[in-house]
Amino acid sequence: MNSAGARLAFDPAVLFKALFLGLVAIFVLVPLLATLLGGFKSLGELRVNPFGLPAQWEWQNYADILFSARYWQLLRNSLVISTLAVALTLITASMAAFTFAHVRFFGSSMLLSYLTLGLLFPAATAVLPLFIKVRDLGLLDTYFGVALPQVAFSLAMSVLLLRRFFKDIPYELLEAALVDGCSYIKFFRYVTLPLSRPILATVGTITFVNSWNAYLLPLVMLNTDALYPWPLGIMVYQGEYSSEWHLILAFITLTILPTIILFLLAQKHIVAGLTAGAVKG
């Protein structure tokens, strides 16, 4: 396509582009909209009219779930586990990253290499021994039994991201502070951390999203449904209402709602966080 063509009123390239983007948008949107709308239908209507707007809006499906203790309990459990994971990750990773960034000591690079081993494989590879370990620590069926391994597996990436950022804080600043009698710990607390809010937010976002959506670890570690985070809970719900799809769809919609709201509120942060987490190292 040459530049002369681009100026034509009906540029076939533009048309093609619009068509292509439209098709992809439909591909993405239809399952999501059908899920949202399906929750408003009766089972009978769902069968004959899965695509369109409901003939009769069944608010009851959503209301029943929203007023059930079960739904809120699942979200609360997820929130507890994810918050634990984020808090512990940020604390341990930022302390370690600070040390690697600013403190020179023998074996520093070796230890850092050791931590980066964690990037090489997914938690699933070691999930059985992990189960045994958590059992031996007496943490089976506790929030910590899920959160601690999640923290451990997110450490490698978090430490690398944080260390990279911390290193950009001029060393002279630290030297000057030390000469003035400020301790490393105070410097960390009052200079490094406040300066590093963006990267802490990024690391926090990655950890939170991973923990919020996690399924395998809670599946293996938890067995009391009172402790289930929502991905486990929704699978149980689906098992119970096996083919009452209108209820399942309403439940799915309500459980992904927090994610979508969060995403719409903080999209820039989340996109930046998730792609940066993937790209920087």
105-134 residues in contact with another protein (CB under 8 A) are 105, 108-122, 124-133
Residue 239-278 contact track with another protein, rule CB under 8 A, x = bound: xx-xx-x--xx--x--xx--xx--x---x--xx--xx-xx
64-83 residues in contact with another protein (CB under 8 A) are none
User: Quick one: 195 or 256, whose CB is closer to another protein?
Assistant: 256
In whole angstroms, how close is the CB of 182 to another protein at the nearest point?
9
31-70 residues in contact with another protein (CB under 8 A) are 31-32, 34-35, 38, 43, 46-51
Distance CA 31, CA 137 (A): 43
In whole angstroms, how close is the CB of 54 to another protein at the nearest point?
14
- Got the DSSP string for 70-133? HHHHHHHHHHHHHHHHHHHHHHHHHHHHHHHHH---TTHHHHHHHHHGGGSS-GGGGHHHHHHH
Which 3 state secondary structure label does DSSP give 48? helix
In whole angstroms, how close is the CB of 128 to another protein at the nearest point?
5
In whole angstroms, how close is the CB of 185 to another protein at the nearest point?
7
Exactly one of 93, 199, 203, 250 binds another protein (CB under 8 A); which one? 93
- Count of residues that interact with another protein, criterion CB under 8 A: 125
Residue 165 binds to another protein (criterion: CB under 8 A):
no
- Got the DSSP string for 176-240? HHHHTT--HHHHIIIIIHHHTHHHHHHHHHHHHHHHHH--HHHHHH---GGG--HHHHHHHHHHH
Distance CA 87, CA 171 (A): 27
Which window, 53-61, 64-72, 138-146, 194-202, contacts another protein (CB under 8 A)?
138-146
194-213 residues in contact with another protein (CB under 8 A) are 209, 212-213
CB 109 within 8 A of CB 159: no
